[in-house]
Structure 1
């Protein structure tokens, strides 16, 4: 190999190594972002489940209050 070919070979090898390093860094960043998004989605899911339970509880309270109101209305009619 002549000197120019050797020099070009080293430059290409250096560029290849830089690209491999960039790819690894980018891959790590993407994996980190995916983990953050998963965490956010899990927190939102738990919050949504808590809201659903709270809404069910409120619906039950509303139903009970309506029954109480209706029973007062029926008692007044009997008087």
Structure 2
């Protein structure tokens, strides 16, 4: 699947707001997800799982543990979607 950064951000935002029960326009790409009320570790894992299924990727644990915003998630997804240079 090929997607640009803006497309990935849009999908990730939709998944995040859906899981957290928020309005779509209430989550900016740069907001720290850990600061959103109700964004506990279980919900974050569900968000990651839905993102992996949507984009048909498996995100590396070390990448997932380093994310804090929608933009961060989009960058990790884009990295996973990039063709292997080897």
Specify the TM-score bucket, using the shorter chain as the normaliser: under 0.3
Instruction: Report the TM-score when normalising by structure 2.
Output: 0.21
Q: State which structure, 1 or 2, has the greater radius of gyration over its C-alpha atoms.
A: 1
Instruction: Report the TM-score when normalising by structure 1.
Output: 0.23
* Higher relative helix content: 1
Structure scoring higher RCO (CA < 8 A, sep ≥ 6) equals 2
